[in-house]
């Protein structure tokens, strides 16, 4: 009894706004960015009603009686949509009990669903929320197979309802990592992949007759079931792939499995096969600044990768695979800014500001086929809005107000509390443990 009460009290303290109804809010006098490739316009207004964007632009009237925030000319943008993360499923990466990204000893793979693991009180959620990240792709990591499992779209709101879209995609590794998981070679990985998709087709034809062959099988019933919507094209198959030739192999899967809805992740050599990616109509969530031949599958790495792919007509967004994706989604702002800076480097191809910002807002949403729901301030999108004290891509700019589904969010973080405790030297009156 006492324990329950304590737990309830802690819950309220940790999430003072929860549960909160979606809000109506109007933000006026904004330096406004819609998030679809546009630069800022002055004197903009955003109207959020029932948690959704109703209107955004210039010359928009505020409905009578709506709570109105005067942005005072500050930047107002859609919240950042982090294109590839493990937010909410890891507290401390090296402390295995707190790390739900991968399950090396599980008999399951494609069936694994991150949604139940997402903990809205993970401290990295608060940190990234305070940095203006409002929504994120959350992918599991591979453990015992090239299939990692089913990822989710989450919001970073300070409430207990983080998962917006469970089972939003299936994530898998190809290339070097996939080969490792599949037994040691690319042909083995390719065979495993084709076999899994064929088994999923079998399962779809007659679930009742699909014999569960237990943990020794390539696919358990649950894994096969999870791959059915993938092979049917109802759920995207997100594939981490780096090497140019590997990208072409993955694109070629659709000859045998024509309904596959592919999304490429990483793709450091994407620029070398950009026309083929564009022709296939497959979107890419790319590593933003990878410029080292960090492996033999990324020998052609260049910071111009994203710019060149975009110039070739590829739908491209920024994601941070293999780059502390469980804690540092905030870095995507800096990365996008660097791609703008790259435009000023002789011989390089970067992005203009509008497209760089779109690559971390509408871009990931578009890549997942959810651009009509998230990532911009177009009408009908989730009311994720951030007011900034400066250019959001510039270092040092800070989110001064964050709304998720129209709800104003707390911006306090554990990191700030630590900072304030030690901001001045000990005064000798009481230990630092009494400062709070």
Partner 1 sequence: MSGAPTDGGVWGDLILLRMTIAIGAAATLMACTPDGGGTQSAGSTTASSSSAKDVQRYSRDPYPSTYHRYPGAPTLVTNVTIFDGEGGRIENGSILFRDGVIVAVGTDIAAEPGVTVIDGTGKYLTPGIIDVHSHLGDYPSPSVAALSDGNEATSPTTPEVWAEHSVWPQDPGFARALVNGGVTTLQILPGSANLMGGRSVTVKNVYARTVQGMKFPGAPYGLKMACGENPKRVYGSRGRMPSTRMGNIAVDRETWARAVEYDRKWDKYEQEGGDSPPSRDIAMDTLRGVLDGEILVQNHCYRADEMAVVMDMAKEFGYHVTAFHHAVEAYKIADLLKENDTCAAVWADWWGFKMEAYDETDANLAILENQGACALIHSDDENGIQRLNQEVAKARAAGRRAGIDISEEQAWTWAAINPARVLGIADKTGSLKPGKMADIVLWNGNPFSVYTRPERVWIDGALMYDMNDPSRRPVSDFELGQPGGGNFN
Instruction: Compare residues 93 and 276 and give the one whose CB is closer to partner 1.
Output: 93
**Cα gap 102→104, rounded to integer Å:** 6
* Distance (Å) of CA 356 to CA 36, 339, 378: 10, 7, 18
List residues bridging with 48 in a β-sheet: 25, 53
Instruction: Compare residues 201 and 276 and give the one whose CB is closer to partner 1.
Output: 276
Contact segment (CB under 8 A) with partner 1 among 4-12, 61-69, 89-97, 221-229 equals: 89-97
- Number of Cβ within 10 Å of residue 87's Cβ equals 26
Per the CB < 8 A criterion, the answer to whether 156 and 327 are in contact is no
Per the CB < 8 A criterion, the answer to whether 262 and 236 are in contact is yes
- What is the pattern of x (binds partner 1, CB under 8 A) and - over residues 343-382? -xxxxx----------------------------------
Helix (H) or strand (E) holding 242: none
Q: How far is the CB of 330 from partner 1 (least distance, A)?
A: 8
Q: Under the criterion CB under 8 A, does residue 299 sit at the interface with partner 1?
A: yes
- Of the candidates 198, 294, 378, 435, which one interacts with partner 1 according to CB under 8 A? 294
Q: Under the criterion CB under 8 A, does residue 398 sit at the interface with partner 1?
A: yes
Instruction: Compare residues 47 and 342 and give the one whose CB is closer to partner 1.
Output: 342
Q: Tell which positions 168-227 bind partner 1, by CB under 8 A.
A: 173, 176-177
Instruction: Compare residues 13 and 395 and give the one whose CB is closer to partner 1.
Output: 395
- Of the candidates 201, 295, 311, 408, which one interacts with partner 1 according to CB under 8 A? 295
- Number of Cβ within 10 Å of residue 252's Cβ equals 12
Q: How far is the CB of 294 from partner 1 (least distance, A)?
A: 5
Helix (H) or strand (E) holding 274: helix 274-280
Contact segment (CB under 8 A) with partner 1 among 161-169, 193-201, 294-302, 377-385 equals: 294-302
Q: Under the criterion CB under 8 A, does residue 244 sit at the interface with partner 1?
A: yes
Contact segment (CB under 8 A) with partner 1 among 29-37, 49-57, 339-347, 368-376 equals: 339-347
Per the CB < 8 A criterion, the answer to whether 74 and 64 are in contact is no
- Of the candidates 304, 361, 376, 409, which one interacts with partner 1 according to CB under 8 A? 304
Q: Which stretches within 131-234 are classed as H helix?
A: 175-182, 186-205, 221-231
Q: Give the phi and the psi of residue 152 in degrees, each rounded to 5.
A: -130, 165
Q: How far is the CB of 364 from partner 1 (least distance, A)?
A: 18
The residue to which tokens 């109007």 are assigned: 26
- Of the candidates 124, 134, 310, 409, which one interacts with partner 1 according to CB under 8 A? 124
**How many CA atoms does the CB half-sphere of 154 hold within 13 Å?**
34
Q: Tell which positions 144-163 bind partner 1, by CB under 8 A.
A: 148
- Of the candidates 33, 34, 69, 393, which one interacts with partner 1 according to CB under 8 A? 393
Q: Under the criterion CB under 8 A, does residue 11 sit at the interface with partner 1?
A: no
| 3-state helix vs strand vs coil in the chain, percent to 5 | 30, 20, 45
Contact segment (CB under 8 A) with partner 1 among 47-55, 61-69, 204-212, 285-293 equals: 285-293
State the number of binding residues for partner 1 (CB under 8 A): 69
Give Rg (Cα) of the chain: 22
**Cα gap 281→284, rounded to integer Å:** 10
Contact segment (CB under 8 A) with partner 1 among 40-48, 192-200, 214-222, 411-419 equals: 411-419
Q: How far is the CB of 365 from partner 1 (least distance, A)?
A: 23
Task: Return the closest-CA partner of residue 83 out of 369, 381, 286, 387.
Answer: 286
Residue 20 C-alpha from the chain's centroid:
24
Q: Under the criterion CB under 8 A, does residue 142 sit at the interface with partner 1?
A: yes
Task: Return the closest-CA partner of residue 82 out of 138, 141, 136.
Answer: 136
User: Mind giving me the DSSP string for 55-123?
Assistant: EEEESPPPPTT--EEE-TT-EEEEPEEEEEE-TTSBSSTT-GGGB-S--TT-S-STT-BSGGG--TT-H
- Of the candidates 102, 193, 360, 368, which one interacts with partner 1 according to CB under 8 A? 102
Q: Under the criterion CB under 8 A, does residue 19 sit at the interface with partner 1?
A: no
**Using CB under 8 A as the criterion, which residues of the chain lie in contact with partner 1 when the complex forms?**
90-95, 102, 123-124, 141-142, 148, 173, 176-177, 240, 244, 266, 269, 272, 289-296, 299-304, 321-328, 330, 334, 337-338, 340-342, 344-348, 393-396, 398, 415-416, 418-420, 422-423, 425-426, 432
């Amino acid at each position: 009894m006492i324990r329950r009460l304590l737990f309830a009290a802690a819950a309220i303290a940790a999430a003072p706004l929860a549960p909160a109804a979606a809000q109506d809010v109007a933000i006026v006098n904004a330096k406004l960015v819609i998030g679809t490739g546009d630069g800022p316009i002055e004197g903009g207004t955003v109207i959020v009603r029932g948690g959704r964007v109703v209107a955004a632009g210039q010359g928009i009237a505020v409905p009578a009686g709506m709570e109105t925030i005067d942005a005072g000319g500050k930047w107002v943008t859609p919240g950042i949509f982090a294109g590839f993360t493990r937010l909410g499923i890891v507290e401390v990466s090296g402390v295995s009990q707190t790390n739900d990204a991968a399950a090396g000893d599980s008999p399951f793979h494609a069936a694994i669903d991150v949604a139940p693991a997402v903990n809205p009180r993970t401290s990295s959620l608060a940190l990234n929320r305070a940095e203006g990240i409002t929504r994120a792709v959350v992918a599991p990591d591979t453990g015992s197979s090239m299939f990692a499992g089913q990822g989710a779209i989450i919001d970073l709101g300070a409430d207990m309802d983080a998962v917006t879209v469970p089972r939003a995609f299936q994530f898998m590794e190809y290339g070097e990592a996939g080969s490792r998981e599949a037994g040691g070679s690319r042909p083995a990985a390719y065979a495993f992949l084709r076999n899994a998709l064929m088994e999923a087709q079998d399962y779809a034809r007659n679930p009742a007759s699909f014999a569960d062959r237990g943990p020794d099988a390539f696919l358990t019933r649950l894994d096969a079931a999870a791959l059915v919507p993938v092979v049917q094209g109802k759920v995207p198959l997100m594939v981490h792939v780096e090497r140019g030739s590997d990208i072409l192999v993955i694109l070629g899967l659709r000859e045998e499995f024509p309904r596959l809805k592919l999304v490429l992740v990483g793709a450091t050599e994407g620029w070398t096969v950009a026309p083929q990616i564009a022709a296939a109509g497959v979107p890419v969530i790319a590593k933003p600044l990878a410029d080292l031949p960090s492996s033999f599958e990324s020998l052609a790495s260049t910071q111009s990768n994203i710019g060149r792919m975009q110039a070739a007509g590829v739908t491209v967004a920024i994601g941070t695979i293999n780059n502390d994706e469980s804690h540092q989604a905030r870095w995507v702002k800096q990365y996008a800014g660097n791609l703008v800076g790259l435009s000023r480097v002789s011989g390089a191809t970067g992005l203009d500001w509008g497209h760089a910002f779109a690559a971390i807002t509408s871009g990931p949403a578009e890549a997942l086929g959810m651009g009509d729901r998230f990532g911009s301030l177009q009408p009908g999108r989730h009311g994720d809005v951030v007011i900034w004290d400066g250019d959001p891509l510039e270092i040092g700019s800070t989110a001064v107000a964050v709304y998720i589904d129209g709800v104003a969010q707390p911006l306090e973080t554990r990191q700030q509390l630590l900072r304030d405790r030690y901001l001045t030297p000990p005064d000798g009156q009481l230990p630092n443990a009494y400062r709070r």
